[in-house]
Amino acid sequence: MRLIHPALCVCVVLLAACSKPAEVASPAIPATPVKAEVATTPDPQSYANYDDVRVTDAALTLDVSFERKQLAGTVELALEWLDSNANTLVLDTRDLDIARVEREAVSGWIEAEYDVAARDPKFGSKLTIALPERAKRVRITYNSRPEATGLQWLDPAQTLGKSQPFMFSQSQAIHARSWVPIQDTPAVRFTYSANVTAPEGLRVVMSADNDATATGEGGYSFRMPQAIPSYLLAIAVGELEFRPLGARSGVYAEKGRIEAAANEFTDTEAMIDATEKLFGDYRWGRYDLLVLPPSFPYGGMENPRLTFATPTIIAGDRSLMSLVAHELAHSWSGNLVTNAGWRDFWLNEGFTTYVENRIVEEVYGEEFARMEQVLSQDGLIEEMKAIATPDQRLVVDVVGRDPDETFSGVPYHKGAWLLLTLEQRFGREVFDPFLRGWFDRNAFESVTTEDFLAYLRSDLLAKHPGKFEEAELDAWLNQPGIPATAVKSTSAKLAAVDAARAEFLAGTRTAAKLPGKSWSTQEWLHFLGGLPDATTSDQLAALDSAFDLTGTRNAEIAFAWFKRGIAANYEAIRDPLQAHLVAIGRRKLVVPLYEEMAKSPEGKAEAIRIFRLAAPGYHPLTRTTVATKLGVDP
């Protein structure tokens, strides 16, 4: 039944010609107001014909097989036809085996003709389904493959408990298509439900209404009644325990980690309350966290109702809670008001980085928030040195590119810096209601940069003329680098660290005399980040004997320390560095270390040796990224 009707072939060819990936470069955002109809601009990362027909609900019935490393079952998609002449549904898939496609007719379910196009290495395979009667529902029977880019299948040895396997998804940006045939674009939102069966003893959780008391007998069922984009589809299966944190928050983790996790995340409920006070109701019911094994490739992922998090934020002192603030903030910026395409990613991440900082200010105080602003801005300036100028613009040209490859700190930190600039220019009494209005007006919608500019001009700039000019806006959005008018944040604590570092480097203060014992994680990160390239291995050894940095159990500090250590050829880090790279798969904490090693020929050989040891435990994304950087096979 794989062959398609001849008439449909023509249409498929036409679709192929007029659909993505397109070759046109996306233009800079014009300085003059643009109409909001740009919101329907086709997403260049998706094959879906979502201007013709839209998925409004997905009902999944899946079985989880660890033996086959596959999800298998059906998805039933509810359709809303927008174009009354259309008669095909085009979906995104990647490495899926499609067994059967059915469409709903008056007589019941009947076979539908379909075609799976050749696999594009970046975007996967277009699935074209002929629906001559514009069916209201289609049902696809399929299974994922072990190499699905959006899933990681872990052996028991890769978990803390060592007795049960584990599986988790990471759909953002365009990996949902590797485990569900779907319109894989953030321009389309749909509700979903799922019935999932898994081997006994394992709990299934999803980005939906998890029930901590469910036993799993007869499978786990879920419902996500709020419409979400595909990149927020999420599932995890493992031996999980649950601990409540507050009235509407809690944490899932492996047994051996649940106590530490619950202790680390105690401020979660206070963070939800703080964000509501600032930007309006939390509209998703519960907010739970799931702590994954250390191979999780990100720090956190804002899956609705269930943030996925790396265990590397469990530092023991709650010092890395801004990651929870960040993922929670996405419940407003991103999950509620969603970037319509990946070029508008800064609307998700820049807004979230800004809101994150407001949350930590409420919960941990102004000085803490300022320290994080300084780290964010310094990090951006440093990172930009290595970023091609077009990618230093807020609106990234993603046409023809895999969003994983365009990922950088620019949308996060430059975006947040723009919002902070607006806040300072207009004052919180004006800016806060403006930002809250953005979330309220666009709740459960997908938005473009043009939508934001229209709102900014009408509801902020025009009402307070002379405070922020078009030229400045253009510099933030369309020009590389940081605008000349940008004001750098300052922090008294970090200024003191600067002074201490300068004395240490000048030799007027010994390592032992530094006040490092009382420094917070942020002060240490600032101290280490500010050490010059010329720092010697003797200087590092002195710091190490005073503060045992090589033995730190804080993964962020370890990362910053190893980076310096590699550059200075500091021998003592050798084994702990290898242990870090083998144990942790979070991209941000491993990729720059391999890059630093690869700067010398001997270092590169060492990097490849360690990569070979570590790769089997890495997530496909981390494995591919490191392999690309080292120029070896994944």
Q: Binding residues for ligand BES, per CB under 6 A?
A: 172-173, 298-302, 323, 326-327, 330, 349, 407, 412, 588
Question: CA-based diameter of the chain, in Å?
Answer: 87
Active-site hit among 412, 570, 594, 618:
412
Least CB distance from residue 299 to ligand BES, whole Å?
A: 3
Q: Cβ closer to ligand BES: 349 or 362?
A: 349
Q: Cβ closer to ligand BES: 102 or 404?
A: 404
- In terms of Cβ atoms closer than 10 Å to its own Cβ (0-12, 13-18, 19+), residue 517 is exposed
Q: Cβ closer to ligand BES: 254 or 302?
A: 302
Q: Quick one: what does residue 149 bind among ligand BES, Zn ion, none, with the CB cut-off 5 to 8 Å set by partner type?
A: none
Least CB distance from residue 227 to ligand BES, whole Å?
A: 18
- In terms of Cβ atoms closer than 10 Å to its own Cβ (0-12, 13-18, 19+), residue 158 is middle
Q: How far apart are CA 558 and CA 576, in angstroms?
A: 9
Q: Quick one: what does residue 123 bind among Zn ion, ligand BES, none, with the CB cut-off 5 to 8 Å set by partner type?
A: none
Least CB distance from residue 421 to ligand BES, whole Å?
A: 20
For the four alpha carbons of 428, 434, 436 and 439, in that order, the dihedral sign comes to negative
Q: Quick one: what does residue 122 bind among Zn ion, ligand BES, none, with the CB cut-off 5 to 8 Å set by partner type?
A: none
Q: How far apart are CA 365 and CA 263, in angstroms?
A: 20
**CB atoms inside a 10 Å sphere around CB 157:** 10
Q: What is the DSSP letter of 58?
A: E
Q: Quick one: what does residue 300 bind among Zn ion, ligand BES, none, with the CB cut-off 5 to 8 Å set by partner type?
A: ligand BES
The DSSP bridge partners found for residue 75 are 60, 140
The stretch among 343-351, 456-464, 525-533, 595-603 that binds Zn ion (CB under 5 A) is 343-351
Least CB distance from residue 625 to Zn ion, whole Å?
A: 18
What is the separation, in whole angstroms, between the first and last Cα of the chain? Answer: 35
Residue type, 334: G
The helix/strand/coil state of 288 is: strand
What are the structure tokens assigned to 255, written together?
Answer: 């047994």
The stretch among 62-70, 100-108, 168-176, 341-349 that binds Zn ion (CB under 5 A) is 341-349
Q: Quick one: what does residue 323 bind among ligand BES, Zn ion, none, with the CB cut-off 5 to 8 Å set by partner type?
A: ligand BES
Of residues 381, 280, 375, the one with CA closest to residue 337:
280
Radius of gyration of the chain measured on its C-alpha atoms: 25
Contact assessment for residue 277 and residue 262, using Cβ atoms and an 8 Å cutoff: no
Q: Cβ closer to ligand BES: 88 or 338?
A: 338
Least CB distance from residue 430 to ligand BES, whole Å?
A: 27
Q: How far apart are CA 110 and CA 97, in angstroms?
A: 20
Active-site hit among 102, 113, 254, 327:
327
Active site residue 412: yes
In the bound state, the residue with its beta carbon closest to ligand BES is 299
Q: Quick one: what does residue 298 bind among ligand BES, Zn ion, none, with the CB cut-off 5 to 8 Å set by partner type?
A: ligand BES
Q: Cβ closer to ligand BES: 254 or 327?
A: 327
Which residues belong to the active site? Answer: 327, 412
Q: Which residues bind Zn ion (CB under 5 A)?
A: 349, 352
